Amino acid sequence: MKILSITTSSSICSVSILNDYNIIKELSLNNAKTHSENLMPLISQILSETSISLDNIDCISCDIGPGSFTGIRIGISSVKAMAEAKKIKIIPVTSLQALSYNINIESGYICSLIDARNDNVYCGIFDKNHNLINNYIADHIDNVIKSLPTGNIYFVGDGSCIHKEKLINKFKELVHFAENNFLSSANLGICAYNNTSSQSFLTPDELVPLYLRKSQAERMLETNEK
């Protein structure tokens, strides 16, 4: 199955083409302010360099968040347009689950942490097979730390870098950190392929973002109205 994989929810704009688990090519740019300008040219570039057209793509894996509100909207709207035009099915993947694929472990837990500013984080806890345990969380880092399981825990994501000292103080020798904390469209595609057995493909109309919390503009409006 040929998969076009896209992630735009962080500072990384990344696209990949995979054949099942096999990564054919990955292209990435690290400039959060230009996703709207760079995503479609990046997709055109990777299709050209691999000599693959959208007509040969079986599905598109799309990062639905959480993360940058603007980035998520750019990615989802682009995926909807391509999928609608070419009648391609979509596999949604959360950025937290995709991040968990940066680590492979034999036992313990994987905790993906994405910075949500002002000491808040988005959190997802996964088992060694990258299956989600409990629900995703958006909360202050101190509250998240209190909710984490005991035992060996492996942290990944920019939130784990920012709050590394707190995590070390809490978990001592049981804490481990990923070397790579960036979202990868290739890992997102592998995650999507693994999810095909347990998750139905979506149509463009069914694809929706996962924000977990309101945007900064919405929060400011609510504050001003009080």
d(CA 10, CA 167): 22
Whether residue 117 sits in one domain with residue 13 = no
Mean pLDDT of 1-13: 96
**pTM (2 d.p.):** 0.91
Q: Give the whole-number percent of the chain exceeding pLDDT 70.
A: 93
Residue 204, pLDDT score: 95
State the residue range of the domain holding 216: 2-95+183-225
Q: Are 75 and 221 in contact (CB under 8 A)?
A: no
Whether residue 169 sits in one domain with residue 132 = yes
- DSSP string for 81-96: HHHHHHT-EEEEE-HH
Residue 199, pLDDT score: 63
Residue 33, pLDDT score: 75
User: pLDDT tens, 49-90?
Assistant: 999 999 999 999 999 999 999 999 999 999 999 999 999 999
Residue 34, pLDDT score: 86
pLDDT higher at 128 or 199: 128
Whether residue 138 sits in one domain with residue 170 = yes
Task: Give the CATH number for residue 210.
Answer: 3.30.420.40
**Pairing of β 12-19 and β 2-7:** antiparallel
H or E element in which residue 62 lies: strand 59-63
Q: Which of 94-103, 171-180, 194-203, 213-222 has the lowest mean pLDDT?
A: 213-222
User: pLDDT tens, 111-150?
Assistant: 999 999 999 999 999 999 999 999 999 999 999 999 999 8
Whether residue 189 sits in one domain with residue 112 = no
pLDDT grade for 220, boundaries at 50, 70 and 90: very low
Mean pLDDT of 78-106: 97
User: pLDDT tens, 148-167?
Assistant: 998 999 999 999 999 999 99
Whether residue 122 sits in one domain with residue 69 = no
pLDDT at residue 222 is higher than 70: no
Whether residue 198 sits in one domain with residue 166 = no
Q: Are 116 and 213 in contact (CB under 8 A)?
A: yes
Whether residue 134 sits in one domain with residue 50 = no
Structurally, the chain folds into a number of domains equal to: 2
Q: Crossing angle, helix 69-86 and helix 35-50, to 10 degrees?
A: 40
